[in-house]
Structure 1
């Protein structure tokens, strides 16, 4: 199993998936009467996942975004492509993943929903320079990708409570990446851990992103072990693969970023293709997928 995992997590396997695996959406799925939240949904994979859920006749969609203006722009675009939806079917809610107060306020607001069937925790960053989140003091990549995402994952009981009337289980979908298996995680021996992850002298732009995904994956696996799908919701961890146009690392203007943008556009999947894996994690499978990793639309080790 270790050998098979190491092979699948390698570069050759990644390139093979990028070039030859073409994920598709499951058929015969109807989300009528259901409600979903998608974080980071004004652009990239989050926006395309939101669009695909609406294509499956989702009745109510909440776009959880940091920038209200961009969220409203995304809402208008989705409304134009789904003209049969009522005017209030798509909402924009404020969510700043760098601020615990914003995360907890968002969670409280979600508790007032009449029902909540699907939560897609897509929001993430890959910071190219060291910066601390002003509200928490933690390094931004760790704050957004791990700490705030883990906190939002504790919306899990809300999914159960609000989706209890449904014949199917609620879903908590947490974005993952095959780069979690590439993490060196040099800080792992430090106790306590967070001060080491926040140390600017130890900041490695690539490994910090990989490590944030690894720690989040470990957290979700442990959460799934402690909270069975029968008690709450089915937790899945889809990996959309190498995808261009996601906004990760947005704002970088280094020469290295300009150079890598060329193969990224050639080998990377479109946001729509990457989102199919995420949407599959939200609507397909059953309890057997609880706490599991999904790649190319299939359950993987």
Structure 2
């Protein structure tokens, strides 16, 4: 992992820098001169609206075929129609809608089986996520829902797609994960959402060490606070305050999507295992650079592979390591 940046991890994580980013910074758009994706295929999860829809739009502008995923077929078809407006599409399958429910392991496995028949798969933007106001648990796995969808299911999909993308590219301590099956005494929905995302970053730092960037580039991109529907489940005072914050600070989804598009186009292998923000490689969370963070990442990596072993994920990763 790179250790030299133009800003320290502590400063980047500060509230002052957050407000600076949201109010001042504008990631530049990616043009076809920067990255021509003609002939490339991209999967974008959670693309029926918000940031995912904008990522799909920008990748289409660069010439890619896109596969957008959604839990709702009707919403997916509406998104396909929206993306098709005003476009002279090169083929009937330039925009495809595939069903995917990240709260269901069966849905993920079926999605991956379908992906295996693609002629090529070059880009995967795993954008789908949930932001839960109430503390709820997945009935199938027992994990808190944000941790289930934003972390476990997303990591499972990541690992299962790795060998497809490679082939078709034109412990002595208490386990960490079981804690997310227990109710907490004082529920903090915002803190829980951040935790579910941090888990993904910790895991990615370990996974990236084992995957050759010449096969697949893995990075973690932050689009910033945008006017998406992520807070759709809020209500009452929380909804009112959230709307005020959106009005003052939130970026248009088109602007936030630019960073995700840069992450999968212009930054290349330099971004492998890195955190991408404002269209640049940036320092990640402070914890990642501390010995405790390194220990937690290694432990979380082992815990997660054990949790997802029903899908033979360890064998997939081991095969990628052997082929480096």
Asked if Structure 1 and Structure 2 have the same fold, meaning a TM-score greater than 0.5 normalized by the shorter chain, the answer is yes
Aligned-residue Cα RMSD (Å) equals 1.7
Pairing partner for 2:261 from 271, 279, 285: 279
> 1:89 deviation in Å?
1.5
**Corresponding residue for 1:54?**
60
**Corresponding residue for 2:182?**
199
**Corresponding residue for 2:193?**
209
Contact kept? 1:98, 1:143, Cα under 8 Å: yes
Alignment of 1:1-301 (within 5 A): 4-27=8-31, 28=33, 29-58=35-64, 60-154=65-159, 155-163=161-169, 166=170, 191-202=174-185, 203-230=187-214, 232-244=215-227, 246-301=228-283
TM-aligned CA distance change 1:132 to 1:81, over 3 Å: farther
Contact kept? 1:98, 1:134, Cα under 8 Å: no
With structure 1 as the length reference, what TM-score do the two structures score?
0.86
Contact kept? 1:98, 1:136, Cα under 8 Å: no
Contact kept? 1:99, 1:133, Cα under 8 Å: no
Contact kept? 2:131, 2:233, Cα under 8 Å: no
* Aligned-partner SS, 2:92: coil
Contact kept? 1:242, 1:269, Cα under 8 Å: yes
With structure 2 as the length reference, what TM-score do the two structures score?
0.81
**Corresponding residue for 2:313?**
none
Aligned length: 273
Contact kept? 1:128, 1:252, Cα under 8 Å: yes
* Aligned-partner SS, 1:82: coil
C-alpha separation in 1, matches of 2:51 and 2:111:
21
Unaligned runs of 5+ in 2: 284-324
CA deviations over 1:237-278 (Å, ceiling 9, x no partner): 11111112x221312212122122112122110111000001
**Corresponding residue for 1:183?**
none
Contact kept? 1:99, 1:136, Cα under 8 Å: no
C-alpha separation in 1, matches of 2:192 and 2:168:
35
CA deviations over 1:216-240 (Å, ceiling 9, x no partner): 001111110111212x211121111
**Corresponding residue for 2:306?**
none
Unaligned runs of 5+ in 1: 167-189
